[in-house]
Amino acid sequence: MIYFVFFIIALIYSSVGLAGGSAYVAFLAILGTDRIYIPSTAQFLNIIVSFLGSLNYRKHFQKDFLKDVLIIYALSISGVVLGSKIELSDRAFYIILGLSLIASSVLSFLKDKISKIKFSIPRYFVPFFGFAFGFLTGIVGIGGGIFLSPILLLANFPVKLVAFITSLYILLNSSAGFLTNVYAGRVDISLSLSLAFFVALGGFVGSYFGSSKFKPEIVKATLNTIILFIGGQILWRGIT
On whether the CB atoms of residues 218 and 8 are closer than 8 A, the answer is no
pLDDT of residue 24: 92
pLDDT in tens, the chain (240 residues): 789 999 998 988 887 777 888 889 889 988 889 989 999 999 999 999 989 888 877 777 777 778 888 899 999 999 999 998 888 888 998 898 889 888 888 877 776 666 666 667 888 889 999 999 999 888 888 878 888 888 888 888 887 788 788 888 889 999 999 999 999 899 999 999 999 999 999 988 887 776 555 555 665 676 677 778 888 888 888 887
pLDDT of residue 215: 57
Query: What's the number of CA atoms in the CB half-sphere (13 Å) around residue 15?
Result: 18
Model confidence pLDDT, tens digit, residues 211-233: 555 555 665 676 677 778 888 88
pLDDT of residue 220: 65
pLDDT of residue 41: 96
pLDDT of residue 105: 81
pLDDT of residue 222: 67
Alpha-carbon gap, residue 89 to 104, rounded angstroms: 22
pLDDT of residue 189: 93
Alpha-carbon gap, residue 227 to 169, rounded angstroms: 22
Question: Nearest Cα to 233, choosing from 87, 32, 16, 58?
Answer: 32
Alpha-carbon gap, residue 186 to 226, rounded angstroms: 27
**CA quadruple 165, 166, 172, 173: dihedral, nearest 10:** 140
CA geometry: angle at 64 spanning 58 and 65, to 5°? 65
pLDDT of residue 16: 72
pLDDT of residue 87: 83
pLDDT of residue 45: 95
pLDDT of residue 131: 94
